[in-house]
Structure 1
Amino acid sequence: MSSRVKDIVIVANNDWHDLWFQRQQFACGFALRGFKVFYLNRALQRWPTINHFKRRFFLFGKKIIHNKNTIPPNIRVITPFWLPPFEILRPINRKLIQITISSYRLDVQSPWLITYIPSYNTIDLIRIIKPYKVAYINVHNYDEDIVISDLLKAEKELVKQADLLFGDSNYNMERLSRLSPGKQVFPSLPGVNYNLFRRAFRGDEFRRCKTIYYFGGIGPHLDLSLYGALASTYKVVFVGIVAPGVYNQIPAQIEIRPPVANSALPDVLKEADILTIFYKDSPYIRGVIPAKFFECLATGKPVLVSGLSEAKPYLDVVYDVQGSEQIAREVIKNLSETETEYRLRRQDEIAKEADWTRRFESFASKLGL
């Protein structure tokens, strides 16, 4: 198969110059193996609102400086200008897809198409470029997300067409299994650049226990009340972009720092004694295992979580505080005793197993590439 397939098309759900996720990492992996990779930036999934524009262009009233991730040789980044994937708009979008193919000279030859978006636009792209095979990676619990109803209809059609199905969490794997009885669903979990994030490790974190960090999107999904309660005793720092309407809800004691590129993030996190992922429990969050989870593990620092059902298989190396300030304080108080040599070694093993090199090799082998 590998001798026949020369091109890879990735229909991504985030832009190349956005935060670094599996999509960009896999694109780089295929490019290093000599494939020509066409990376399609996220197209509109619904009609944009004022808040979408605010989030894209403004942060606290100032223009956001977006990341500029390096684009390796063999990768072409394409920004498709398509309308939202409503079924009624399919005739127009088919023409826009043709224009995209022509304008960007998307001259693919029997490619593997890997999509993270299960829309009618994706299905029509498949029909037009006629890929060798199709892989669908489910990275959202669309049943509980804010999506157009036509996307859910299109997903059922895509699942039937796809040659391989993947889920980025146990929940999403089970979700795809329900949508595709009889088809095997493989894991494609988030990963980490282990050597990069290991730079954040100091070795005295569990003895110091003064600073608590969270990094990533700062939105209504965070348990801000728990963070605020801990901020009365500890230095609490958020690193990331604040969603519109959330800034005024963040307790004043919490320090907010702007996002940085992944390459610089470990140096920022070096100051942290404890890393946290405190989410509010919700039907959508129950299907989430964030990319930052394995990045946190790779730092070797104590990791506290809350509202993260997908962390249950890792409770031998992370602490679930269950939304409780009291439990969180008890955990922090006892870290000098609980952060044993075995626990630290096991955390390190899990982080190494999640290294992007291994994640990519596993994924590519499923595709036979």
Structure 2
Amino acid sequence: MTHIDYEAYARDLNIWYNNVEFYDVRTAADLCKIFDCCKFSTNQFIQIFTIINKKFNSSEVIAISQHARIQTFENGEKAFDALNFISKLLNNKAISDATTYIKDHTAQTGKNIKYLMKCSLYRDDFFQIFKILSKACKDGDTYTLKYAVTEGYINIYTYYSEKSNLFYLNSEPEEARPYSLFEYILSKNNMELFRQLSIFSNICTSNSLESIKCLYTQLNEDVNSRDGFQKTLLHYAALNEDVEVTKYFVSFQSIDINAKDDCQATPMHYAAFNRNVEVIKYLCSLPGIDIKVKDAKEKTPLHYAVLVKNSEVVKYLCSLPNIDINAIDSNKKSALHYAAENDSIEIIRYISEHMK
């Protein structure tokens, strides 16, 4: 029986990959064995399967494709070309839709960073930084938001006078106080930006329980310690979709479950952002938790949930007997007002059904 050296085909790939006659004399099984030894460029892959698609039936094409590997992608565009070709080859609309989404999203990612890099870390650029980050959030540009966190852009502050209702970029009047970027974001009701910047600010928002336990033990950190925004570990833990992370920090006897950050927001407010409703359910089950608590702008956790359109949390909070559904913030608006402004039909229904 003649031994076939399939690896030889891999070495001679450039000779046969676009030769139509090569495929005329080979079966699908032959090609599977040959392809097991080969790694193609994106262009080779596309040319090869353009030929194969004309000569083999659909089930054979799928079988052969499972043995094909692309050695490397020259750039992101080439990767999208390959995915787009595969979606057409397999007539798979789901792959096509996913490719289109990823391509559009990737095109946006990082596009605002060049504007952010032009800003200084002084309060002269306070409002410009807010504008850039707001646009990045709207664009889904998470890379720019992460960059803003790691490079300290979110630490910028200005001075604000409650008496005159004025911001001071170049002076520090006696009646004015430091005013953080997070406070300004809150004042503009940009809760999605507030949420995302918070998520990127601490590992407790996204890391696994095991890694958080490991790091916390090594650092020997006070469970009620605060960062520059007066946020505690529990504030960040409440953003983690794994409810066990929140339970871990609450298990410490000295934990302050109603601790307030520099925006006067508590872990309850942060849990209202969390898409896993079990986190806020757990916090609400704790003795002494304040479910009606208000932040510096007099917003309750229900306001927060409505502003980020977190319908499951809204539904749960509305079901609580002691919740104040009609609570108004400093803008004289209730949660229902914001739901109507955002055209959140489902949320409007939840709130309306529970109003007394």
Normalized per residue, which structure has more strand?
A: 1
Global fold match (TM > 0.5):
no
Q: Could you say which structure has the larger radius of gyration? A: 2
The higher relative CO (CA closer than 8 Å, separation ≥ 6) is in: 1
The two structures have a TM-score, normalised by structure 2, of 0.24
The two structures have a TM-score, normalised by structure 1, of 0.23
